Structures are given as structure tokens and as C-alpha cells.
């Protein structure tokens, strides 16, 4: 069983950038564009700020696209689209299915 991960997002008024920390693999890093596109589709553009998404624990690799939803929710809280006190009560989990291998 894989250890649970947490996702925290922050925006700061610096040079615009979108950074992941916490050993993301290529699919997690690509969520930057999937999440940006999804937020644009609902009329919520990301501000021209420095955005950092911290995936913890930092010493375990993060793999797959199932981080998209927690990243999107964290970004929505970071830019004020979701109240921070409400976002603390949000939990996302993935359902693992057997592949028969």
C-alpha cells in the first residue's frame, strides 16, 4: 500500500512561474497544463504570479495523473476561488483497481 500524499499550493507576487516540488514524475509535471486548461475552461485563469505546488512527503516519488484534482483544488484555494477554511476540509483519494497482472 502506498503512503498518503498531501498537496499544498501557494501563489506569491514574484516573477511568474509554475513549479512542482516533491519528486513529481513526468505525468505529474504535465498536470500543469491539464489543470491550467481545466481552470481556463471554467473561466478561472491563473494569475501572473509564482505558483508552487508542494507534494509531500518529499522523499517518495509521485507518479500518475491522479494528482490533477488535488492540484486544481489547491490552486483554486491559493488564488482565492475557494475559501481557505473550506479547502482544509477537502480530501481526494484515488481508487486502485487490479489490472489482473
Q: What secondary structure letter does DSSP report for 51?
A: E
pLDDT of residue 1 exceeding 70: no
Strand segments, DSSP code E, in 2-84 are: 6-12, 17-21, 50-56
Encode pLDDT of 31-88 as tens digits: 999 999 999 999 998 889 999 999 999 899 998 888 898 899 888 888 888 887 766 6
Average pLDDT over residues 16-35: 92
Burial classification of residue 78, based on how many CB atoms lie within 10 Å of its CB (0-12 exposed, 13-18 middle, 19 or more buried) = buried
pTM of the model: 0.79
Q: Residue 2 has what pLDDT?
A: 60
Amino acid at each position: 500500500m502506498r503512503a498518503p500524499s498531501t498537496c499544498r499550493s501557494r501563489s506569491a507576487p514574484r516573477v511568474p512561474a509554475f513549479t512542482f516540488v516533491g519528486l513529481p514524475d513526468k505525468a505529474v509535471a504535465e498536470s500543469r497544463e491539464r489543470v491550467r486548461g481545466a481552470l481556463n475552461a471554467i473561466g478561472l485563469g491563473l494569475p501572473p504570479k509564482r505558483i508552487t505546488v508542494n507534494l509531500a512527503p518529499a522523499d517518495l516519488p509521485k507518479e500518475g495523473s491522479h494528482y490533477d484534482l488535488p492540484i486544481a483544488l489547491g490552486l483554486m484555494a491559493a488564488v482565492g476561488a475557494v475559501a481557505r477554511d473550506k479547502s482544509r476540509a477537502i480530501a481526494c483519494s484515488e481508487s486502485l483497481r487490479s489490472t489482473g497482472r
